[in-house]
Amino acid sequence: MTDEIPEIGSVTGTGVPVRGNDIDTDQVIPARFMKVVTFDGLGEFAFFDLRFDEDDEQKDHPFNESAFQSASVLAVNANFGCGSSREHAPQALMRWGIDAIVGESFAEIFAGNCLALGIPTVTADHDAIADLQAWIDDNPDGEIHVDVETETVTYGGNTIEATVDDAQRRALTEGVWDTTALMKSNADAVADRATSLSYTDV
Amino acid sequence: MSEGTLYDKVWEEHTVSELPTGQTQLFVGLHLIHEVTSPQAFGMLQERDLEVAYPELTHATVDHIVPTADQSRPYRDGAAEEMMAELEENVRDAGIEFSDPTTGDQGIVHVIGPEQGLTQPGKTIVCGDSHTSTHGAFGALAFGIGTSQIRDVLATQTVAMEKKDVRKIEVTGELGPGVEAKDIILEVIRRLGTEGGVGYVYEYAGEAIETLDMEGRMSICNMSIEGGARAGYVNPDETTYEWLKETDEFRERPERFEELKPYWESIRSDDDAEYDDVVTIDGSELEPVVTWGTTPGQGIGIDDPIPEPASLAADKQDTARRAQEHMRVTPGDTMEGYEVDVAFLGSCTNARLPDLRRAAAVVEGREVHDDVRAMVVPGSQRVKAAAEAEGLDEIFEEAGFEWRNAGCSMCLGMNEDQLEGDEACASSSNRNFVGRQGSKDGRTVLMNPRMVAAAAVEGEVTDVRDLKEVTVA
Ligand code: SF4
């Protein structure tokens, strides 16, 4: 692989708040939209069942509001992305336009899937998130600066202390979040492992 | 940090390198793939001009989209056909073994791995599917991964991971009549919460676990992920070895069994292992558990009242209110008598032979309620064949159940088996999320397989222990 993996020290953009705890990946992208063999075009199905009723009429949802259409920072609450391991979920969000997610907590597989796409999942406490979400509602055009390096989120003159998992911070800021090439370079050590394990016949 | 646990030992055994990110590069002993999460990974390999590094350590099946009624090709659903064709092409090009429906070995990925003997103690096992934790029942270290990680595993046979803490969950005592493995895990998730396991892997131990058969252990490990844990496992013991001896892998090569057994014994958690946390649950006090809400953590004993949202932790109240509105349940009521329209006996949690046997014992001599459509979807073609050899299919069909072919089916409604409108479903599966079973207004009540059988015949959520002339235990 020759492509340079970009270093992601921070993300800046306008926000979109999606409130609620335990928003599972079935909500982020319902299973019926996963009957595809590529991730292209998943963006329009992000949060589909929360955004549209049976007759495909729009419901109240931040992803439907014109003010948030160019948002790139998603602000969520606790245990976001729980449930299925489908990478289709962060893929759909990314293809909708999301480059960073700030929330109270994330399900682990979801956070790992985000990292594999270079999307930071940054955590802060309940009150800080609630304030951020309220501010976004009032300032849909306001810029939010998610700094992975310094673990802060800055908006409208406020700076909140956030947390970025250590491995995630290093992976993003040092541009090693795409692990394929990195791990491929250890092929000899992998082959040693493969032969030393008692159960492998390789 | 834990020390001397199975997790520590298997982790150590499979460590290839420490990555600059601080993550560990772990060797993957078995990579399972299915049609939904793998095609994009194969696409990424192609884009980067990479090949599958160890095709002999990879095994494929088709489960999510496969129709469970008419399986003739091409599938009636064009999208399903396309996904199947793509998988066929990918495994053929890479030389990966594929348990496709023509082999008689096809089934849900977490059912076929164990039954073919691919799943073994002390292996690292990954699959692009969160319920990969199931395989931990054998003392394997098994994780669900995303599609970019599938790409990593295909290209390198390794995965980048961070080490977690280990929580021992000790379930003491003997389970009461009518109480099953499913009830244990629903209780664990109810107590510790759907995110209680974040940062942990769960080691299940104690008398109530050790006396379970392998299928029961699989039901428990399966739902570790619903509790937020990255993996769950049970230390291998005689029950595990007895199962392994009967699998394809070792039946014909008993010497291989003897060769590997010392390794399996060596990775058991030490008696003086250190854990980051220990939780004890008295198994003898458990009742059949059913869910009242839209997360697997929203469960209660069948005799217990549905909680008042205000009585719950502050961060759970809002979710509970929305869940109760969706499910149309009232705090203070029990779930008993909650009317159901559909009964689904299936999924990687509860569609193995003993699950079907226990449910059939409840159904035998009874009829499915007039207002209920009921179906059995065996976890694999082998489970189906074994059940038919015992005549379970006749018991179910005579009672009015549909007897289907193997697949994920209504667990997630990616094929034609879906809830319609606001139907309520008594389900032996693992997720009651809104929309999970194919209709966004659908209502799912999770429960053990005998409870599903009882709900099917009564047309409402029923305490199976109250059904007359049923041998519970
Ligand atoms: S049965 Fe359900 S939970 Fe299990 S693998 Fe299939 S879709 Fe996933």
The Cα B122–Cα B124 span in angstroms is 7
Using the beta-carbon criterion (under 8 Å), do B414 and A32 form an inter-chain contact?
A: yes
Q: Are residue B356 and residue B242 in the same domain, yes or no?
A: no
> How high is the mean pLDDT of chain B?
96
Mean pLDDT of B124-129: 97
- To the nearest whole percent, how much of chain A has pLDDT over 90? 89
ipTM: 0.90
Q: Measured between CB atoms, does A59 come within 8 Å of chain B?
A: no
Which 64-93 residues of chain A touch chain B by CB within 8 A? 78-79, 82-88, 90-91
What is the per-residue pLDDT for B306? 98
pTM of the model: 0.95
Q: Are residue B145 and residue B231 in the same domain, yes or no?
A: yes
Q: Ligand 1, closest atom to CA B347?
A: 1
What is the per-residue pLDDT for A4? 73
The identity of residue A108, as a single letter, is: E
Residue A182 has pLDDT above 80, yes or no: yes
Task: Name the residue of chain B whose CA is nearest to A39's CA.
Answer: B40
List helix spans (H) across B223-290: 238-245, 248-251, 254-266
**Best residue of A18, A47, A57, A85 to probe chain B, by most B CBs closer than 10 Å:** A85
Query: Taking a C-beta distance cutoff of 8 angstroms, is the pair B303, B195 a contact?
Result: no
Closest-CA residue, ligand 1 atom 2, reads B411
The identity of residue A136, as a single letter, is: I
Query: Taking a C-beta distance cutoff of 8 angstroms, is the pair B447, B455 a contact?
Result: yes
> Residue B98: which H helix or E strand, with range?
strand B97-99
Residues in chain A: 202
Residue A135 has pLDDT above 80, yes or no: yes
The identity of residue A195, as a single letter, is: T
Nearest CA of chain A to the CA of B231: how many Å?
11
At B124, is the secondary structure helix, strand, or coil? strand
> How high is the mean pLDDT of chain A?
94
Residue B472 has pLDDT above 70, yes or no: no
**Best residue of A115, A179, A197, A202 to probe chain B, by most B CBs closer than 10 Å:** A179
> Which of B319, B297, B273, B309 lies closest to B198, judged by CA?
B297
CA of residue B438 to ligand 1 center, whole Å = 13
Q: Measured between CB atoms, does A190 come within 8 Å of chain B?
A: yes
Mean pLDDT of A24-34: 93
**pLDDT tens digits for B131-141?**
999 999 999 99
Cβ–ligand 1 contact at B348 (below 6 Å): yes
Mean pLDDT of B17-27: 94
- CATH 3.20.19.10 for domain A10-176: yes
Nearest CA of chain A to the CA of B400: how many Å?
29
Q: In this complex, which of B13, B48, B436 lies closest to A197 when CB atoms are compared?
A: B13
> Residue B298: which H helix or E strand, with range?
none
CA of residue B363 to ligand 1 center, whole Å = 24
Residue B23 has pLDDT above 80, yes or no: yes
Using the beta-carbon criterion (under 8 Å), do B36 and A86 form an inter-chain contact?
A: yes
The Cα B99–Cα B106 span in angstroms is 5
Q: Are residue B294 and residue B251 in the same domain, yes or no?
A: no
Phi, psi of A145 (to 5 degrees): -115, 110
What is the per-residue pLDDT for A5? 84
CA of residue A3 to ligand 1 center, whole Å = 36
Best of B36, B129, B417 for a ligand 1 pocket test (most atoms within 8 Å of beta carbon): B129
SS3 percent helix, strand, coil of chain A, rounded to 5, is 40, 20, 45
Q: Say if B352 falls within a structural domain.
A: yes
Set of chain A residues whose Cβ sits within 8 Å of the Cβ of B16: 183, 186, 189-190, 193
Which 150-189 residues of chain A touch chain B by CB within 8 A? 165-168, 170-171, 174, 176-180, 182-184, 186-187, 189
Strands A100-103 and A73-75: parallel
How many CB atoms are closer than 10 A to CB B432?
28
Best of B37, B145, B412, B436 for a ligand 1 pocket test (most atoms within 8 Å of beta carbon): B412
Contacts of A190 (CB under 8 A, 6+ apart): A183, B16, B27, B53, B156, B157, B158
Query: Taking a C-beta distance cutoff of 8 angstroms, is the pair A76, A97 a contact?
Result: no
**pLDDT tens digits for A67-120?**
999 999 999 999 999 999 999 999 999 999 999 999 999 999 999 999 999 999
CA of residue A84 to ligand 1 center, whole Å = 9
Nearest CA of chain A to the CA of B197: how many Å?
10
**pLDDT tens digits for B227-285?**
999 999 999 999 999 999 999 999 999 999 999 999 999 999 999 999 999 999 999 99
Residue A35 has pLDDT above 70, yes or no: yes
Domain that holds residue B330: 289-464
What is the per-residue pLDDT for B352? 98
Q: Measured between CB atoms, does A20 come within 8 Å of chain B?
A: yes
Q: Say if B440 falls within a structural domain.
A: yes
Q: Which of A161-170, A173-182, B198-207, B277-286 has the lowest mean pLDDT?
A: A173-182
Domain tally for chain B?
2
- Report DSSP state, residue B377: -
Mean pLDDT of B56-77: 96
**pLDDT tens digits for B157-206?**
999 999 999 999 999 999 999 999 999 999 999 999 999 999 999 999 99
Closest-CA residue, ligand 1 atom 6, reads B408
Residue B217 has pLDDT above 90, yes or no: yes
Q: Say if B155 falls within a structural domain.
A: yes
Cβ–ligand 1 contact at B63 (below 6 Å): yes
CA angle B15, B19, B21 (to 5 degrees): 135
Strands (E), A33-161: 73-75, 100-103, 121-123, 143-147, 152-155, 158-161
- CB-side neighbour CA atoms (13 Å) of B339: 7
Cβ–ligand 1 contact at B108 (below 6 Å): yes
**Residue for token digits 């107590």?**
B191
User: Sign of the CA dihedral B34, B145, B119, B431?
Assistant: negative
Mean pLDDT of B390-417: 96
Residue B471 has pLDDT above 60, yes or no: no
Q: Are residue B336 and residue B262 in the same domain, yes or no?
A: no
The identity of residue B70, as a single letter, is: D
First to last CA, chain B: 39
**Best residue of B83, B151, B156, B295 to probe chain A, by most A CBs closer than 10 Å:** B156
Q: Say if B278 falls within a structural domain.
A: no
Q: At what angle do helices B353-363 and B214-222 cross, to 10 degrees?
A: 100
Q: Say if B271 falls within a structural domain.
A: no
**pLDDT tens digits for B300-318?**
999 999 999 999 999 899 9
How many CB atoms are closer than 10 A to CB A166?
12
Phi, psi of B123 (to 5 degrees): -90, 150
Q: Are residue B233 and residue B369 in the same domain, yes or no?
A: no
Q: Are residue B114 and residue B238 in the same domain, yes or no?
A: yes
Q: Are residue B176 and residue B324 in the same domain, yes or no?
A: no
DSSP bridge partners of B313: none
> Residue B191: which H helix or E strand, with range?
helix B181-192
Q: Cis peptide before B74, with omega less than 30 degrees from 0? A: yes
What is the per-residue pLDDT for A201? 77
Q: Say if B273 falls within a structural domain.
A: no
Q: In this complex, which of A167, A176, A193 lies closest to B27 when CB atoms are compared?
A: A193
Here the CATH number for the domain that contains residue B443 is: 3.30.499.10
Q: Ligand 1, closest atom to CA B412?
A: 7
Q: Say if B319 falls within a structural domain.
A: yes
At B337, is the secondary structure helix, strand, or coil? coil
Mean pLDDT of B404-416: 95
Cβ–ligand 1 contact at B347 (below 6 Å): yes
The Cα A103–Cα A93 span in angstroms is 15
Q: Are residue B256 and residue B305 in the same domain, yes or no?
A: no
CA of residue B143 to ligand 1 center, whole Å = 14
User: What is the three-state SS of A88-110?
Assistant: HHHHHHHHHCCCEEEECCECHHH
Q: Are residue B365 and residue B444 in the same domain, yes or no?
A: yes
Mean pLDDT of B349-366: 97
Task: Name the residue of chain B whose CA is nearest to A80's CA.
Answer: B195
Residue A127, CA distances (Å) to A21, A161, A163, B415 in order: 14, 12, 14, 42
Residue A122, CA distances (Å) to A87, A106, B11, B433 in order: 18, 9, 27, 25
What is the per-residue pLDDT for B469? 62
> Residue B46: which H helix or E strand, with range?
helix B39-47
**Best residue of B119, B129, B130 to probe chain A, by most A CBs closer than 10 Å:** B130
Q: Are residue B207 and residue B97 in the same domain, yes or no?
A: yes
- Report DSSP state, residue B380: B
Nearest CA of chain A to the CA of B463: how many Å?
28
Residues in chain B: 473
Phi-psi region of B390 (alpha: psi -120 to 50; beta: other; left: phi over 0): alpha
Contacts of B412 (CB under 8 A, 6+ apart): A26, A31, A84, B64, B431, B436, B437, B438
